[in-house]
A and B are shown apart, each in its own frame.
Chain A
Amino acid sequence: MALAHQTTSEMQENNTPLLHVAGISKTFSGIKVLKDVSLSAYGGEILALMGENGAGKSTLMKILSGAYTADPGGEIRIGGEVARITNPASARALGVGIIYQELALAPNLTVAENIHLGSELRKGGMIDRSAMNEACRELLRELGAPFGPEDKLSTMSVAEQQLVEIARALHRDVRILVLDEPTTALSARETDRLFALIRQLRAKGLALIYISHRMDEIDELADRVSVLRDGAHVGTLEKHELSSARIVSLMVGRDLSSFYEKDGDHVRHDAAPILQVEGLTDGKRVQPVSFVLRPGEVLGIAGLVGAGRTELARLVFGADPKVAGTISLDSRKLDIRSPRDALAAGIAYLTEDRKALGLFLDMSCSGNINLGVVERDARLGVLDHGKGRTRATGSFAALRIKAQNMLTNVGGLSGGNQQKVLLGRLLETGPKVLILDEPTRGVDIGAKTEIYRIINDLAAQGLGIIVISSEMAEIIGVSDRVLVMREGHLTGELTGDEITQEAIMSLAVGLAAAPSIAA
């Protein structure tokens, strides 16, 4: 914090970036989620880090914070010197601080206790509360905090708690501060105050890395923008090059039409809706929602994280109890009280979290694929192994699952193949409606295209398919029609040419008109 104020250009002339990462890669069970990333952040600047969900931003930040270790080969330099970040403590010692979306504070402790967490001041073996309070008072004043060191965290707003996190980082003499989507839970006024503080920190010479999806924030704050896509650093825009259009094109950066394998429209417009949802609500996170789905249609549901998309899907699937509303399949009203009822009726749901909520990692591929149908195939409760083998072989071939063999444990497969095994289980139940929640999360590009091909083929066979995705390009690429959700409400419906990134975004964030991010 004692660094003199220097402008970005002065620092760059000095030419030693405060943070420089070179050739950083990270592999999770065979999937490379970060590919040879190199970028720099200078003292006294705000570097925005952008990219779609899953582009590798958080992974990179977790490497900086010591939560993950990078694959061998890369190098991190801090203030020009090679830094070895092996755990969170070493990251802290090197002056790297991160403010995560989810705050990591102890709500039952005071501000001063939180700021000193892990480095408590002692006097004669006892905690020295008054010294700790004094130590933060000055800092809090400097930050313009509306609370004192003795206040309890549990009585404070999210914005104030965030300020405590920032104070804690500054108290530890951070030189590099990462803010991961810090405004998601803030009001407009709180956001303004945060921005003022961020600028104040920039003036003090910190290197700030700002992660956000919101284009207007980037416009307002960023000195430079680095963009990650599919785990690779695809470009950095300098101040004078910054424009929303250029950022978006870097983020998306691929030819959508060929990637998504959509061979036209399979929607059977003349047919009756296959699924009809009316006034469905859980009374909390999903406000009464109504929509229809036609055979052969791929219906995208877009929205920001937390908009209630997954909750809506779980309501339709019977995984959570509904408070009101009806669900009809083929014009017949269903009484769905559990996933079992939904599956029996012909509604299948692919969870967004395949490891925690989908797969049985200790079971074989064949066991996982057959799990939904063993009961149907059995005679008097005794398993029919022959049928099971036939089904597994069929799924392996149709979905091009790559595994040593059908009896390999599913836990050892790559993300893409795990996802296909889970998809195989759903398809074996013979669904009429398929709800896919983030179907390509954590899978590599190859498996992604195959999953798109499968979605396309299933639509051609007349299934009704709902795709929930946070990846804008995916929603646009696969959907015939898009519903946008915001804070539990359906805020709009887009078809055909209306389906654009701008239109979806403005509905998702609640703008009346599309923001002018088009070139």
Chain B
Amino acid sequence: MSASSDVGYHAQRQARWHYGEAVFWLVVLACGFLFPSRYLIMTDILRLALFAISLDLILGYAGIVSLGHAAFFGVGAYAAGLLALHGIINEPVLALIAAGLAAMVLGFATSFLVIRGVDLTRLMVTLGIALLLEALAERFSNITGGTDGLQGIEMQPILGEIPFDMFGKAGFFYSLAVLFVLFLLARRIVHSPFGLSLRAIKNNPLRAAAIGIPVNRRLVAIYTLAAFYAGIAGALFTQTTAIASLDVFAFDRSADLMLVLVIGGTGYLYGGLIGAVIFRMLQEVFSTITPQYWQFWIGLVLVVIVLVGRQRLHYGVLFLPNLLIKQIAGRKAVVTVPESDA
């Protein structure tokens, strides 16, 4: 890396908007107009991306591993579902925020359990919490509908104006807007002094504590925020599909999320977005080709990714775009993926 006097400069340089980012978001927006028949899977990717950003906040920036992030996704999903089903908050955006807050409360409460212990303990405690919630949701089937899920949710129009349609157009742009706003917020946060202090904690908690960072309080804060994000992702899920069933808490969801983030790379926010696209596309392609055995090919891809090495893959993927960028914008503009690992 660089000398300590450069840290501030680097931090600022990273925080500045890169024109590539604008292109990225424009392309995403353009997808919404280019593929009107693919709104559903694109909405699915957006939800997954938001969920992945949530995990990236704690994993990539604060170094907290979690195998139970679906706990917050699930709480958000059921909260949104129950609010709509019983007509408590009919307006989707308000309900979305309320659902996010519900997940946030849970995140705050459980953060104290999670920040203790080593990686493996954290993995299992988070996993345990998600499994516990799943069991609770199954137990209180009079509220949650049990294994049958919440049925008969009818969503009111967004902001009282835009109704959800069968083709998922409204759902897609709604999800995109939510994702973008929350992405901006996350971007702001990770580049703030608060975000930098998290990275210090991730690199070395002892040193961070020694230079006066209140380690535990920072970890609680980011964990709570991540829970809010995951809750929103869950609420989006319920609102765009009009379904909430037990599998929102499922272990598979947390595990898939981990895969998404590892594929995309942690610690630069876009990793979740890219991982979500790649992962879902792989799933879609394989399960279209072979509905029975798609898991084999997904597995194979994962194995190959690891054996070839993620860094080398990233380099390979970046090779062509970088070549072009060098021509157009000069050597300095080339793209690299941060070396980030837990």
A binds B: no
Q: Which residues of B contact A (CB under 8 A)?
A: none
